Amino acid sequence: MSTATHPSPVTAPWGPEYELLAAHHTSCPTCTAVDDQGVNLNLPCAEGRRLSEEYRMARHRA
């Protein structure tokens, strides 16, 4: 078991990108679309992909 500590996503260097990505994915009608069973449809969302890429790059730079 590792005892390494990990930064909080909010206080980490990539925090702003994480917050934008989280806010988008919880409010975007495309990203939150579900079927009649409540399963997320994983529809393509250009803005979600862009924010995800920005978050990924910020983590890579940190």
Encode pLDDT of 13-48 as tens digits. Answer: 778 898 999 999 999 999 999 999 999 999 999 999
Q: What is the pLDDT of residue 21?
A: 94
Q: What is the pTM of this model?
A: 0.72
CB 31 within 8 A of CB 43: yes
Q: Which are the contacts of 57, defined by CB distance < 8 A and separation ≥ 6?
A: none
Strand partners, 40: 34
| Ranges of each domain in the chain | 13-28+42-62
Tell me how many degrees the CA angle 27-39-17 measures, rounded to the nearest 5.
Answer: 35
Q: What is the pLDDT of residue 61?
A: 85
